[in-house]
């Protein structure tokens, strides 16, 4: 397509390009695929009207695949020690102000007991890359959880490990693993992470996790410093190629004790827009309305659901440590995000026509 012709097509009859971008949403809905140029055009071309159009389609797909069910995961923040020094993250090694903690196995088990009685059937063990939390120790914890709660799924979110370590955790009974790729653009990856961390290794970990048999989740922050529409187009292409069972995205939120303290936060509407696009690209994906989304908007979780999300991850961590697991500023940690407020979460989901499900909420094969 020549430049002139493409410009004519991009510019719709009202000069805004709205018509053509609507056609791109239709194409994504029908084929689950767009070219790089099409991704960029769509990602750049968000408007409130197009967003409403996208969200309607995303909800239709989500309801076709999963009905009105909202899957819940109980998040247990096991440790905020981390050997890494990512520029965006509040639990980075270099943050001297972080109050470090590590839960004991018994504490984790009692979080699960509490969660089970509330109706949770998935427990997510998340933590920094804490060398003291050895693979053998984590494997023991997984075995204890699986023994006590055989009808529950265990999800891990513990960062980059060797293939042998991932295999050991899988053999211990872990079902799922979340490892956000953070950005699929290698240069951008280098702006978010210090030397020694690489996109290539991150991607290799994700492929290993999938090959081992984990239901695997990748994802990224929306509006992280240096992110461009080109970066996001690469994220979409990478996600499509990996074809993960889960994708976690949320807005970047600056944390005051990090090098990115003065950077701008990611935009709420853009995060919703990307949730909708991901739903159309991967119709069956398990897609959370994340805590970060709930942090930047009082109705974040509801609006996330209405944009195509189908998972929420309330916090099951002991109350005393929630304020210490501060990846970013103003993290919600007393209201509806908390597992104790499951009733109000149920109410708020009911109010938008959805229903919190009791069950593992596995990926539909
Ligand atoms: N803002 C938003 N999300 C963040 N994460 C880490 N730091 C921040 C921040 N400042 C996300 C990363 C990580 C996940 C556990 O939390 O994407 O993978």
Ligand 1 atom nearest 182 alpha carbon:
17
Q: How many angstroms separate the CA atoms of 301 and 306, rounded?
A: 9
Q: What is the CATH number of the domain that holds 156?
A: 3.20.20.70
b vs e for 104-134, b when ≥16 Cβ sit within 10 Å of the residue's Cβ?
A: eeebbbebbebbbebebbbbbbbbbbbeebe
* Structural domain includes residue 252: yes
Taking only the tens place, the pLDDT of each residue in 53-97 is 999 999 999 999 999 999 999 999 999 999 999 999 999 999 999
Is there a binding annotation on residue 89? yes
* Mean pLDDT on 280-294: 97
Answer whether 65's CB lies under 8 Å from 72's CB. Answer: no
What is residue 339's predicted lDDT score, i.e. its pLDDT?
A: 65
Give the residue-averaged pLDDT of 242-264.
98
d(CA 1, CA 214): 42
Asked if residue 364 belongs to a domain, the reply is no
Model-level pTM?
Answer: 0.95
Coil vs helix vs strand at 292 = helix
Contact partners, residue 343, CB within 8 Å, separation at least 6: none
Number of domains forming the structure of the chain: 1
Q: What is the whole-number distance in angstroms between the Cα of residue 81 and the centre of ligand 1?
A: 15
Residue 344 maps to a domain: yes
Q: Examine residue 65 and state whether it is found in any structural domain, yes or no.
A: yes
Give one word for 159, left, alpha or beta, with left for phi > 0 and alpha for psi -120 to 50: left
Atom of ligand 1 nearest to the CA of 157: 15
The answer as to whether 329 is a domain residue is yes
Percent of the chain with pLDDT over 90: 89
Whether the pLDDT of residue 19 is over 90: the answer is no
Q: What is the mean pLDDT of the chain?
A: 94
Residue 314 within a domain: yes
Q: Which helix (H) or strand (E) holds 164?
A: helix 163-171
**Domain limits at 339?**
17-355
Beta-sheet strands, E only, within the chain? 69-72, 74-79, 122-127, 153-157, 176-178, 215-222, 246-251, 311-312, 355-357
Query: Is 207 a domain residue?
Result: yes
């Amino acid at each position: 397509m020549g430049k002139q012709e493409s410009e004519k097509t991009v510019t719709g009859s009202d000069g805004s390009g709205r018509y053509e971008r609507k056609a791109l949403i239709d194409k994504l809905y029908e084929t689950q695929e767009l070219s790089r140029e099409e991704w960029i055009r769509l990602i750049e071309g968000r408007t409130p009207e197009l967003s409403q159009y996208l969200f309607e389609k995303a909800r239709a797909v989500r309801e076709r695949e999963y009905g009105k069910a909202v899957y819940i995961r109980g998040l247990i923040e096991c440790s905020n020690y981390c050997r890494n020094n990512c520029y965006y993250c509040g639990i980075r090694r270099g943050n001297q102000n972080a109050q470090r903690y590590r839960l004991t196995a018994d504490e984790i088990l009692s979080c699960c007991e509490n969660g089970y009685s509330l109706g949770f059937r998935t427990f997510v063990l998340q933590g920094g890359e804490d060398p003291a939390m050895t693979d053998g120790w984590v494997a023991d914890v997984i075995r204890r959880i699986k023994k006590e709660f055989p009808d529950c799924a265990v999800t891990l979110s513990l960062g980059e490990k060797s293939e042998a370590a991932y295999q050991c955790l899988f053999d211990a009974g872990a079902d799922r693993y979340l490892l956000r790729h953070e950005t699929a653009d290698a240069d951008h990856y280098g702006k978010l992470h210090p030397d020694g961390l690489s996109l290539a290794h991150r991607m290799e970990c994700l492929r290993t996790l999938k090959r081992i048999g984990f239901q695997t989740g990748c994802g990224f922050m929306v509006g992280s410093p240096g992110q461009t529409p080109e970066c996001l187009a690469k994220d979409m292409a990478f996600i499509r190629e990996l074809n993960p069972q889960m994708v976690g995205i949320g807005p970047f939120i600056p944390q005051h004790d990090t090098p990115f303290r003065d950077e701008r936060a990611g935009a709420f509407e853009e995060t919703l827009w990307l949730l909708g696009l991901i739903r159309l690209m991967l119709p069956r994906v398990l897609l959370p309305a994340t805590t970060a989304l709930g942090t930047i908007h009082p109705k974040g979780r509801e609006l996330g659901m209405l944009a195509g999300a189908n998972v929420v991850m309330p916090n099951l961590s002991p109350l005393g440590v929630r304020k210490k697991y501060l990846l970013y500023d103003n993290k919600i940690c007393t209201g509806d995000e908390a597992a104790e407020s499951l009733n109000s979460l149920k109410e708020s989901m009911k109010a938008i026509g959805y229903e919190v499900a009791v069950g593992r909420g596995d990926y539909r094969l």
